[in-house]
């Protein structure tokens, strides 16, 4: 059974991520979406909120599982018997970081390979940070994220505003 991991922060999940998920789920028997449980202060959603959100927008894809992880990605991959990591490549600006990530992972875990899917042209400009930035200024994010995600982003930002 071919198991692949699609790791990321997904804060929040965008249509660009969903496109990569749908395409890679067709290539592998099982695709595990690994949500990095980092303690970054800039994260809008907790990792469990992100997991729930991703489960909801991927519920129609039967071979997708969503889990959060701490620590090294390759340890998470080993724990889940995955030997492939999937990453999306948008533009040349992604390349340097992605090369460093995949080559470092390859040195630590030679049995694990990273495969890159170039993003759909429709979403090549899109990032979670841009979505948050637009939402912070009450902009419309419905072209970038699922309706249910847009609602959660709006609610979360309103709550953060109230808290000051």
Active site residue ranges: 17, 41, 90, 128
Per-residue binding letters, 25-44, with ligand PNS (x by CB under 6 A) = -----------x--------
Query: Least Å distance between CB 10 and ligand PNS?
Result: 7
The least CB distance from residue 138 to ligand PNS, in Å, is 25
Distance in angstroms (rounded) separating the CA atoms of residues 118 and 130: 19
| 3-state DSSP helix/strand/coil % of the chain, to nearest 5 | 45, 20, 35
Q: Nearer to ligand PNS by C-beta: 9 or 24?
A: 9
Cα torsion 123, 91, 109, 36: sign: negative
Separation between Cα atoms, residue 7 and residue 84, nearest integer Å: 11
Q: How far is the CB of 133 from ligand PNS (least distance, A)?
A: 16
Convert residues 103-142 into a mask of x (bound to ligand PNS by CB under 6 A) and - (unbound).
-xx-------------------------------------
Strand order in the sheet with 84-89: 64-69, 30-36, 3-8, 84-89, 113-118
Binding site for ligand PNS (CB under 6 A): 7-9, 36, 72-73, 101, 104-105
């Amino acid at each position: 059974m071919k198991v692949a991991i699609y790791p990321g922060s997904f804060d929040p999940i965008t249509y660009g991520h969903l496109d990569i998920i749908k395409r890679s789920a067709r290539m592998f028997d099982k695709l595990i979406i690994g949500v990095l449980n980092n303690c970054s202060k800039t994260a809008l959603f907790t990792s469990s909120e992100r997991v729930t959100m991703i489960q909801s927008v991927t519920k129609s894809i039967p071979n997708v599982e969503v889990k959060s992880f701490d620590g090294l990605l390759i340890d998470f991959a080993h724990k889940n018997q995955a030997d492939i990591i999937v990453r999306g490549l948008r533009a040349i600006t992604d390349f340097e970081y992605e090369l460093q990530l995949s080559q470092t992972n390859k040195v630590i875990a030679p049995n694990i390979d990273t495969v890159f899917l170039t993003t759909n042209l429709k979403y090549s400009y899109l990032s979670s940070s841009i979505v948050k930035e637009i939402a912070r200024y009450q902009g419309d994010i419905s072209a970038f994220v699922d309706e249910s995600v847009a609602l959660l982003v709006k609610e979360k930002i309103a709550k953060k505003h109230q808290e000051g």
